[in-house]
Amino acid sequence: MSDGREITEYEKYIRTGPLLGLQKTADELVCHDELAFQIVHQVEELWMKLCQHELALAVRLIEGDRLVEARVTLHRMYLICGLMADQLRLLETMSPRAYFTVRSALGRGSGQESPGFNALLEQPAALRTATRALLKRRAVKLIDLHRDPARSPEMFALVEALVDFDEAFQHFRQRHLALVRRIIGGRTPSLKGAPAELLEHGVRQTFFPELWLVREQLFRDFTPGPPLFEDDVDETHHH
Ligand code: HEM
């Protein structure tokens, strides 16, 4: 029972009671925009939770040689990252002044402490390992896959789906940096030092560096000069 009435099946299943109790009440808000700030962060945490769940499945599917299903799952992760990036836009409607008020209430809390984000930084390593093992199992070199995608289209589509996910996660970080610049400016020191520098470093990070390097190596095929990064790219090669 809630407010003297029966809880509906919908409320029971979606758990709307607990869910909608997770935000500050109107009386508790330090300013009008704080609700948007809190909800966007909460929704982002939920998407990151779902992304982790999907990522764990993608690893199992690759390990089980179920590449078509793995690609479907990676596509879902790509879409989730897109939502994560898009939703940051809502906070671009927050004035710098309102953010300052909210930040005062935030104490020393920082996005760097986001459990979902930190898990998402760690977890793709398993995806990378599973993909390397797959290439090895099938005796396919990444560079050969790129030289002739039609020879192993299933594998090519898989590594491209990994690049899609990598790029979408980078896009989230880029959108976040754009938001930070817009709200606090590029050179404002934050609680933890110079945020722009820290965040710019993050934007350059990739989960699957070899999938980016192989592009440089491929273009070396068409330009004279010594091969680039042969050891980095060539995962299946043994001396
Ligand atoms: C008004 C909006 C926002 C501002 C002004 C802002 C500001 C910042 C700043 C200055 C940092 C650098 C670390 C620090 O100084 O604490 C940071 C990091 C971070 N923020 Fe935000 N943020 C905002 C919204 C969000 C949202 C909605 C999320 C969603 C999850 C988020 C997630 C993160 C994460 C994950 C980091 C760590 C990034 C990394 O280490 O690369 N932030 N944020």
DSSP secondary structure string for all residues of 87-119: HGGGGGGS-HHHHHHHHHHHTT--GGG-HHHHH
Domain enclosing residue 210, as ranges = 32-104+117-233
pLDDT at 71 over 60: yes
pLDDT at 2 over 90: no
Q: Which residue's alpha carbon is at the smallest distance from atom 29 of ligand 1?
A: 41
Please report the pLDDT score of residue 11 as a whole number: 98
Ligand 1: which of 180, 182, 190, 204 to mutate, most ligand atoms within 8 Å of CB? 180
Q: Quote the pTM value.
A: 0.91
**If you search the block for the tokens 């992304």, which residue do you land on?**
51
Give the phi and the psi of residue 2 in degrees, each rounded to 5. -140, 125
Partners of residue 5 on adjacent β-strands: 2
Average pLDDT in the chain: 92
Q: Which residue's alpha carbon is at the smallest distance from atom 34 of ligand 1?
A: 111
Question: Within a domain: residue 20?
Answer: no
Question: Within a domain: residue 6?
Answer: no
Question: Within a domain: residue 15?
Answer: no
Question: Within a domain: residue 3?
Answer: no
Please report the pLDDT score of residue 186 as a whole number: 85
Question: Within a domain: residue 27?
Answer: no
Token pair of 78, please?
């790509």
The arithmetic mean of pLDDT across residues 215-222, rounded, is: 89
Question: 44 C-alpha to center of ligand 1: Å?
Answer: 11
pLDDT at 69 over 50: yes
What Rg, from alpha-carbon coordinates, does the chain have? 22
Please report the pLDDT score of residue 75 as a whole number: 98
Question: Within a domain: residue 83?
Answer: yes
Question: Within a domain: residue 93?
Answer: yes
Are the C-beta atoms of 91 and 37 separated by less than 8 Å? yes
Residue whose C-alpha is closest to residue 11's, from 20, 22, 23: 20
Domain CATH for 205: 1.20.58.480
Are the C-beta atoms of 108 and 191 separated by less than 8 Å? yes
DSSP secondary structure string for all residues of 154-186: HHHHHHHHHHHHHHHHHHHHHHHHHHHHHHH-S
pLDDT at 61 over 50: yes
Please report the pLDDT score of residue 78 as a whole number: 98
Residue whose C-alpha is closest to residue 155's, from 174, 141, 168, 175: 141
Please report the pLDDT score of residue 234 as a whole number: 46
Residue 177 carries which side chain, given as an amino acid letter? L
Q: What confidence tens digit (pLDDT) does each residue in 140-193 have? A: 999 999 999 999 999 999 999 999 999 999 999 999 999 999 999 988 886 666
Q: What confidence tens digit (pLDDT) does each residue in 193-214 have? A: 678 888 999 999 999 999 999 9
Please report the pLDDT score of residue 148 as a whole number: 96
Tell me the H-state helices in 123-152: 124-137, 142-147
Partners of residue 2 on adjacent β-strands: 5
> Alpha carbon of 78 to those of 27, 167, 169: distances in Å?
38, 8, 8
Question: 52 C-alpha to center of ligand 1: Å?
Answer: 19
Indicate the number of domains in the chain: 1
Q: What confidence tens digit (pLDDT) does each residue in 117-138 have? A: 999 999 999 999 999 999 999 9
Question: Within a domain: residue 238?
Answer: no
Please report the pLDDT score of residue 207 as a whole number: 98
Instruction: Choose between 161 and 5: higher pLDDT.
Output: 161
